[in-house]
Amino acid sequence: MKAVLSEVRAFAREEEGVALTEYLILLGLLIGGAILAVGAAGTNLSAAWTSWGTWWTTTVSAPPPAA
């Protein structure tokens, strides 16, 4: 039992695992933020493009066909 406790204490004192965990959490937050930003920008861009396309088709008429 003492061997198991000493292994657990040694693992708890090890700092390399903590740094890796912190980096993985940071990476997850960055990826999540990037996904949200791209999703929001994509939705806004789609709405703007649709609005512009509607304006273009209602305001600008096609040229008359060549005779």
**In angstroms, rounded to a whole number, what is the distance separating the alpha carbons of residues 56 and 24?**
47
- The pTM for the full model equals 0.48
**In angstroms, rounded to a whole number, what is the distance separating the alpha carbons of residues 56 and 35?**
31
Beta-carbon contacts of 11 under 8 Å, excluding residues fewer than 6 positions away, are: 17
pLDDT tens digits, one per residue of 55-67: 888 888 777 787 6
pLDDT tens digits, one per residue of 15-47: 666 678 889 999 999 999 999 999 989 888 888
Task: Using the structure block, give the residue that is written with the tokens 């789609």.
Answer: 46
Query: How close are the terminal C-alpha atoms of the chain, in Å?
Result: 98
User: E strands within the chain?
Assistant: none
Predicted local confidence at residue 65, as pLDDT: 80
